[in-house]
C-alpha cells in the first residue's frame, strides 16, 4: 500500500457542477481533485440543451417566482465568462446562438400566456418583427408573435471540452466499488487502484455526482439531503433543418415545445425537442413518442418540410434536491454537513452560483488551503470525454 495522499478537497462527479467547482477551488488555492466514474462532461450536462436561462421560461405562470429572480443574472454572468472577463475564461466555448426566442401561435391560451410573459419580462425580452425574426417565422403562413430573449445558447460539448482542457489534469477515473468510505471520517477514502491501494485524505468532500449523489450519500451513511428524479423523454430530429433556438408558448406554465439545434457536418442539423412534449412523452414508447413529435411540429410549424428528417428519443431522469410535491426546485442546492458538501445545480445555468456557494461553505467551515498540489501523485487514469446524445444514437428512424 502506498503512502496516504492529502488534498484539501475531493469532488465526486465531472459534470458542470463538479468541473465548475473544481476550477473555482483551484483558483482559490485549494488542492482539489475530481473523481469521475464515467465520462467528463457528465450525464445530464452533455444532454442539456445549452440554454443559459434568464428566467422567461419561469415567468410563464404570470407571477415572478423565486426561480425567475434567481436566474435573472445568469446570462450576464455567463457572458462575462464567454468574453474572458468573468470568473472562468470560456472564450474558446462556442456560442450556438446569442439569443433564445419565444413564439406564440394564434391559439387563445398561447396568446394569453405570451401577454403575461411579455408584461412581466419587459426588460428581458423584446418583440421581433419581419426580417429580425428567425427565418422559420418569416414564412407567410405564420401568424403568431415572436419575442427575443437575452439568453445565449451554448455548444455544451465544447463547454465540456474546454473545462476539461483547463482542469483535466486534476480529474481521475474511479469505479465506485474501488472506494471504501468511512462514515465516521468522511474525508478518509481508501482507494484500490488497478496497480495499488492508497488512502486519500481530504479536508472536505464535495458531492457533485448528479443522480449518483444518492448512492454516495448512502455509502457515507447519510439519510439527508434527499434527492428527487423527474423523468423526461427527449426527442431528437436530424436532417436538413434550419437552426432554431426557441420556446413555443402553450397554455400552461411550461413551454409547449423547446427547440435547440446542433449543426453537424454537411447541411445536417440535430434538433433537440424539450418542454411539455418531453414531459408528457414519459408515458409514450419510442414509436408513439416520435409520432407525437412529428404531429407537434406539423401542428406548430406546418410549412416545415420533414420529409428527410430522421428521429430518435432518449429517456433521462433529472436529479435534484427533493421538494414538497416533487416540483421543480427554484434554484441550485448546496449544503454542508460534517465534512460533506452536497450539490445539485438544478440547471446548468446555475453552476456559477453553486460553485460560489461551495467556496462559502469551505470558508464557513474554516477549511483553509494548506496542501500543495498532489494531483501528480494520484495513481489513477484520466476519464474520457462524454459523447453528445446524438452521437450515441444507434438507429435513426
Ligand atoms: C434533457 C435535458 C436538457 C437540459 N437542458 C438544460 C438547459 O438548456 N439549460 C440548463 O441550464 N439546464 C438544462 N438541463 C439541466 C442540466 O443539464 C443539469 O442541471 C446539469 O447538467 C446537472 O449537472 P451535474 O453536474 O449535477 O450532473 P451530471 O452532468 O449528470 O454530472 C454528474 C457526474 O457525476 C458522475 N458520477 C455519478 N456517480 C458518481 C460516483 N459515485 N463517483 C464519481 N462520479 C460519479 C456521473 O458519471 C456524471 O459524470 C437539462 C437537463 C436535461 C436532462
Model pLDDT for residues 250-278, shown as the tens digit of each residue: 777 788 999 999 999 888 999 999 999 99
Structural domains of the chain in order of their starting residue, each with its CATH number: 5-45+159-226+324-392 (3.50.50.60), 53-154+229-319 (3.30.9.10)
Give CA angle at 258 (253, 261), nearest 5°.
165
In this model, does residue 382 exceed pLDDT 90? yes
Please give the C-alpha separations between residue 15 and each of 133, 157, 164, 208, 210, in angstroms, as whole numbers: 34, 11, 10, 8, 8
Q: Which atom of ligand 1 is nearest to the CA of 42?
A: 49
Q: Which atom of ligand 1 is nearest to the CA of 345?
A: 19
Weakest-pLDDT range from 16-30, 125-139, 172-186, 374-388: 374-388
Q: What is the CA(255)–ligand 1 centre distance, in A?
A: 21
Cβ of 13 less than 6 Å from ligand 1 = yes
Read off the C-alpha cell for 51.
440554454
Helix, strand, or coil here: 316?
A: strand
Q: For the beta carbon of residue 73, count every other beta carbon within 10 angstroms.
A: 14
pLDDT for 397: 95
Phi, psi angles (nearest 5°) of residue 4 = -60, 150
Instruction: State which of 218, 347, 351, 353 you would mutate to test the pocket of ligand 1, scoring each by most atoms of that ligand within 8 A of its C-beta.
Output: 347
Q: Which atom of ligand 1 is nearest to the CA of 43?
A: 30
Mean pLDDT, residues 325-351 taken together: 95
Phi, psi angles (nearest 5°) of residue 203 = -75, -35
pLDDT band at 379 (very low <50, low <70, confident <90, very high): confident
pLDDT for 108: 47
Q: What is the CA(393)–ligand 1 centre distance, in A?
A: 19
Contact 204, 341 (CB under 8 A): yes
Beta bridge partners of 234: 314
User: Positive or negative, the Cα torsion across 103, 306, 151, 331?
Assistant: positive
In this model, does residue 67 exceed pLDDT 70? no
Contact 19, 213 (CB under 8 A): no
Beta bridge partners of 337: 340
Weakest-pLDDT range from 21-35, 111-125, 361-375: 111-125
Identify the burial level of 214 via C-beta atoms within 10 angstroms of its C-beta, where 0-12 means exposed, 13-18 middle and 19 or more buried. middle
pLDDT for 104: 87
The secondary element (H helix, E strand) that includes residue 166 is helix 156-167
* DSSP string for 114-163: HHHHHHHTTTTEEE--GGGS-GGGGSTT--SEEEEES--EE-HHHHHHHH
Q: Which atom of ligand 1 is nearest to the CA of 51?
A: 8
Q: What is the CA(42)–ligand 1 centre distance, in A?
A: 5
The whole-angstrom separation of Cα 54 and Cα 250 is: 19
Mean pLDDT, residues 357-373 taken together: 90
Mean pLDDT, residues 145-167 taken together: 96
Cβ of 35 less than 6 Å from ligand 1 = yes
Q: What is the CA(147)–ligand 1 centre distance, in A?
A: 29
Amino acid at each position: 500500500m502506498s503512502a496516504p495522499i492529502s488534498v484539501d478537497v475531493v469532488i465526486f462527479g465531472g459534470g458542470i457542477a463538479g468541473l465548475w467547482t473544481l476550477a473555482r477551488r483551484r483558483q482559490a488555492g485549494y488542492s482539489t481533485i475530481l473523481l469521475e466514474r464515467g465520462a467528463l462532461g457528465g450525464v445530464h450536462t452533455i444532454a442539456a440543451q445549452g440554454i443559459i436561462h434568464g428566467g422567461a421560461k419561469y415567468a410563464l405562470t404570470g407571477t415572478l417566482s423565486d426561480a425567475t429572480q434567481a436566474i435573472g443574472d445568469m446570462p450576464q454572468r455567463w457572458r462575462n465568462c464567454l468574453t474572458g472577463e468573468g470568473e472562468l475564461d470560456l472564450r474558446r466555448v462556442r456560442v450556438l446562438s446569442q439569443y433564445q426566442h419565444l413564439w406564440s401561435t394564434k391559439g387563445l391560451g398561447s396568446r394569453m400566456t405570451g401577454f403575461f410573459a411579455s408584461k412581466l419580462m419587459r426588460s428581458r425580452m423584446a418583440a421581433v418583427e419581419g426580417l429580425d425574426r428567425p427565418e422559420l417565422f418569416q414564412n407567410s403562413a405564420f401568424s403568431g408573435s415572436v419575442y427575443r430573449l437575452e439568453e445565449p445558447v451554448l455548444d455544451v460539448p465544447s463547454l465540456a471540452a474546454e473545462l476539461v482542457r483547463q482542469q483535466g489534469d486534476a480529474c481521475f477515473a474511479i469505479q465506485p466499488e474501488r472506494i471504501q468510505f468511512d462514515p465516521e471520517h468522511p474525508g478518509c477514502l481508501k482507494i484500490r487502484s488497478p496497480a495499488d491501494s492508497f488512502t486519500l485524505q481530504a479536508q472536505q468532500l464535495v458531492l457533485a455526482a448528479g443522480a449518483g449523489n444518492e448512492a454516495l450519500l448512502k455509502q457515507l451513511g447519510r439519510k439527508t439531503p434527499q434527492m428527487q428524479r423527474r423523468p423526461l423523454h427527449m426527442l431528437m430530429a436530424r436532417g436538413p433543418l434550419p437552426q432554431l433556438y426557441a420556446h413555443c408558448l402553450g397554455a400552461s406554465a411550461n413551454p409547449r415545445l423547446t427547440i435547440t439545434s446542433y449543426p453537424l457536418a454537411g447541411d445536417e442539423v440535430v434538433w433537440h425537442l424539450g418542454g411539455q412534449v418531453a414531459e408528457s412523452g414519459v408515458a409514450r414508447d419510442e414509436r408513439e413518442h416520435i409520432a407525437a413529435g412529428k404531429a407537434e411540429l406539423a401542428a406548430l410549424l406546418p410549412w416545415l418540410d420533414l420529409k428527410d428528417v430522421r428521429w430518435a428519443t432518449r429517456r433521462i431522469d433529472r436529479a435534484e434536491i427533493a421538494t414538497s410535491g416533487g416540483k421543480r426546485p427554484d434554484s441550485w442546492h448546496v449544503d454542508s454537513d460534517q465534512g460533506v458538501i452536497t450539490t445539485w445545480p438544478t440547471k446548468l445555468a446555475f453552476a456559477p452560483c453553486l460553485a460560489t456557494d461551495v467556496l462559502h461553505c469551505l470558508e464557513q467551515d474554516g477549511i483553509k488551503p494548506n496542501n500543495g498540489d498532489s494531483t501528480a501523485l494520484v495513481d489513477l487514469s484520466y476519464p474520457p470525454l462524454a459523447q453528445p446524445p446524438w452521437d450515441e444514437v444507434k438507429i435513426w428512424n
